[in-house]
Structures are given as C-alpha cells and as structure tokens.
Amino acid sequence: MSGYSGIASAAVALVLAFVAVGQPFWEWRHDNGTVVEVWSYKLFGADHIVENRPAGTTVTTPYTYYDVPAQPQISALFLETSRWTVLSILAGLGAAGLSVATSLRKLRGMFAGLAFLGACAAALYASLSFVFAIPGAASDLGTFYGQTIPDFRGRFYEPTTGDTLTWGPLTGWFLLLAAGLAMAWGSSEVWHVRFAKPRAGAPGSAPAAQPAYAPSPPAQPLVQVVQEPAPQEPTIDEVFVIAPSGLLVKHMSRSLLSDKDRDVVGGMISVVSNFVRDAFTEKDGQVQEIQLGGHRFIMYNEHNLVTAVLVGKGSTEDVLHRLRHLTAVLKDRYGERILNWDGEPLEGIEDELTVLWEPFFVPPPPAD
C-alpha cells in the first residue's frame, strides 16, 4: 500500500470517466426494414439519427438536454446523471492530489481514501440509479409504437410488420461503472498508508534546530516532586524478516552503510539465519534475545516467520510490541507468499517495515 497506488488508480478512474463523457451512454433504436430511427444519448447531449435505406441517406441532428423534443423525462434523467458524473470527476481529481501528498508522506492515506470513496459513490450512484430510472423516463418512446419500455435493456419484434424496437446501454455506461470501481480500488490502496512524521534520530530525519539563545530556567519550587523516568525510546539499527525456510526476505538499515559495514551485516545475516533454523524449530510465538556487546538481537517467531531487530538501547517490551504487530501485518498482507517465500520480491514490504520506526501509529498488539 502506498500513495503511488492511489495516484495510479486515480489516473485510471479519471481516464475512464473522461472517455465516458464523450461516448454514447444509452440508445433507443426503431427499425421497420426501410427506415432506421436512432436516439443515441450521451451524458451531455443526444443525437437523433435517421437512416433511409432506399435513398441511402443518413441525417444526424444533435440536441442538448434543454431542447430535446417531446422527451422531458429522459432529458431530466440525463441532466441528473451528468451532474453526478461531474461530481465524481471533481472528487477523483481531489483524490489524485491527496494521493500525491500521501506518496510524499505529507498526509495520511485516510484523506485520499475519503476522496476516493466520494468519487466512487458518485460514479456508482450515477450509473446504477440510471438502471432503475430509465424504464419510467423512456416509457414514452415505446408507447409511440404501441409498446412500453419495461426495463434497462430489451427488444420488441412485431412479426406482422417486421418492426424491431431495441434499447440498452452503450460504451459510456460501462466506462462510468468501471471508473467507480477503480475509485473503490484506489480507496482500499491508500486508506491505511501512514503519515511519516519525522523524528529526531529516525532514518532520513534532519537534526533538530538549536535555538539562538537559551531561555532562563524556571525558578525551582520549594517542594520538588520526584518523577519516575519514562522508559527510554528504543533505538532500532537493523531490521530482518526471515522466511520459515531460513531465507532472508528483507533487510533494512537505520543508515547507509560503508562497504566494510555491509560485510559485517552480511555475516550477521548468515549467523541469524542459521540460528533461526536451529533455535526456532518448535518455539512458535516465542521471543529470543542475544546480547552482542552494546547491542541486542531481539527475534520474534510466529509460524516460523521470524522478524528480528538489532537494538542499541531502549525498552525491550516496546520492541516486542512492534514486532508482534509487524508480523501480523506481514501475514495479513502477503499470506502464503511470505510463508512459502522463494525469492520473489514482495511489493510494498519497505512501507510495512517502517512501523518499527513509527511507534505512534502502532495499534494495540494482536490477541494471542
């Protein structure tokens, strides 16, 4: 899940919606064998087409929905449908802009998700309500030929005269419906993207600016209250995800490494993978901790999927909370793909691992 997925889905939906505007939306056709009369309805206008087969002529007369002759109900219906379509396009443009902000980690994906939901609701309402409203709005078209249009799509044939009356949706209706579904897909892609608020010491964050002067310390009260020190925020330097087979799925580092450091981490990964295969064979749901000088390796195993971190300082309990949540997220998103991992890249896994550096967005740990 990322803001880029929202941008892609918004682009697809908007292209579909804009193309739908220029395509025929619904059609009514009467053919008596000699003359074919067609009313082709678009979102913002209708074409009346009369084809005279013996004469070999075709006459097309365009209309707006404010001057279509003798069709007030169907004109009102298409005016209403076009308004909802415009609303959907505007909401889709807003969702695209918010997705850009989400991809830059300026906003949480919830805002783009809400815009996508609004665009989806408007597009689906415009296309699906049309299905139920068209029989009543277009009934006069059938009665002119002694018939009543009973549903969204259909056909009448009179064998004595050879007259055929057909009606139904065209390309524009299907494109608008597809645009609404694309908006729904975009909402599901960006809704849970987290807002990366930069913190001092986090990967890629800038050092905190120092004030130009130091204010005078406040006067000390006569009676001081001794407070217990808050638990120290853990410093996570390395993150590893190891498949049940012992293969390393993903490794992320707190900072860029030199070539020498990369050799050290490469050896570290080999040791951790071998240790996982030996130590976690029958220890599902357990935690292992190894002291390495001033650092600690903390590893959590669930169904032989291991998440491990190299911690310099801080509370172990807070780290375990994050590892449990990360494991649940990875299993929920990738399922059997990560449990039976064979080397295929897992898209978006870097975004999921950032939860280890963003504790203020971690929900309570999953129930055992």
Per-residue pLDDT reduced to its tens digit, 206-249: 455 555 555 656 655 555 555 555 556 777 888 888 888 878 88
User: Mean of the pLDDT values across residues 96-102?
Assistant: 84
Model confidence over 325-351: pLDDT tens digits? 888 888 888 888 888 888 888 888 888
pLDDT of residue 215: 60
20 contacts: CB under 8 Å, gap ≥ 6: 43, 85, 171, 172, 173, 175, 176, 179
- Of 362 and 136, the structure prediction assigns the larger pLDDT to 136
- Provide the token pair at 144: 């002119």
Spatial separation of the C-alpha atoms in residues 321 and 315, rounded to whole Å: 10
Token pair 């608020």 is found at: 197
Which DSSP state fits 355?
A: G
Q: What is the mean pLDDT of the chain?
A: 78
- Of 34 and 161, the structure prediction assigns the larger pLDDT to 34
User: Mean of the pLDDT values across residues 175-185?
Assistant: 91
User: Mean of the pLDDT values across residues 34-61?
Assistant: 93
3-state secondary structure of 132: helix
User: Mean of the pLDDT values across residues 59-66?
Assistant: 93
Helices (H), the chain: 3-22, 72-103, 109-137, 139-143, 171-190, 259-279, 316-334, 336-339, 349-353
Reference 114, options 13, 183, 197; nearest CA is 183
Q: Percentage of residues in the chain with pLDDT exceeding 90?
A: 23
pLDDT of residue 87: 93
pLDDT of residue 228: 55
291 contacts: CB under 8 Å, gap ≥ 6: none
Categorize the per-residue pLDDT at 171 as very low, low, confident or very high, splitting at 50, 70 and 90: very high
pLDDT of residue 210: 54
Set out the domains of the chain in order of their start, with CATH numbers: 3-190 (1.20.140), 235-361 (3.30.450.50)
- Provide the token pair at 208: 């905190």
- Of 201 and 45, the structure prediction assigns the larger pLDDT to 45
DSSP for 30-73 reads EE-SSEEEEEEE-SS-EEEEEEETTTTEEEEEEE-TTS-TT-HH
In DSSP terms, 299 is beta-bridged to 288, 308
pLDDT of residue 63: 94
Checking if the pLDDT of 173 tops 50, the result is yes
In DSSP terms, 248 is beta-bridged to 242
pLDDT of residue 329: 86
Spatial separation of the C-alpha atoms in residues 318 and 305, rounded to whole Å: 20
CA distances from 204 to 104, 207, 235 (A): 13, 10, 14
The one-letter amino acid at 181:
L
pLDDT of residue 23: 93
pLDDT of residue 217: 60
CA distances from 362 to 102, 297, 311 (A): 18, 21, 18
Spatial separation of the C-alpha atoms in residues 366 and 161, rounded to whole Å: 72
Spatial separation of the C-alpha atoms in residues 196 and 223, rounded to whole Å: 41
Which DSSP state fits 151?
A: S
pLDDT of residue 201: 47
pLDDT of residue 352: 81
User: Mean of the pLDDT values across residues 81-97?
Assistant: 91
- Provide the token pair at 360: 């203020």
Spatial separation of the C-alpha atoms in residues 267 and 276, rounded to whole Å: 14
pLDDT of residue 356: 75
User: Mean of the pLDDT values across residues 64-83?
Assistant: 90
Categorize the per-residue pLDDT at 200 as very low, low, confident or very high, splitting at 50, 70 and 90: very low
Instruction: Report the predicted TM-score, pTM, of the whole model to 2 decimal places.
Output: 0.52
Categorize the per-residue pLDDT at 368 as very low, low, confident or very high, splitting at 50, 70 and 90: very low
Checking if the pLDDT of 83 tops 60, the result is yes
Residues 233/314, Cβ–Cβ less than 8 Å: yes
Residues 123/141, Cβ–Cβ less than 8 Å: no
Reference 96, options 190, 193, 192, 194; nearest CA is 190
3-state secondary structure of 254: coil
68 contacts: CB under 8 Å, gap ≥ 6: 46, 74, 75
Backbone angles phi, psi at 247, to 5 degrees: -80, 145
Nearest-5° angle of CA 118, CA 124, CA 128? 150
Model confidence over 248-291: pLDDT tens digits? 888 888 764 455 555 566 566 666 666 665 665 555 556 777 77
The one-letter amino acid at 36:
V
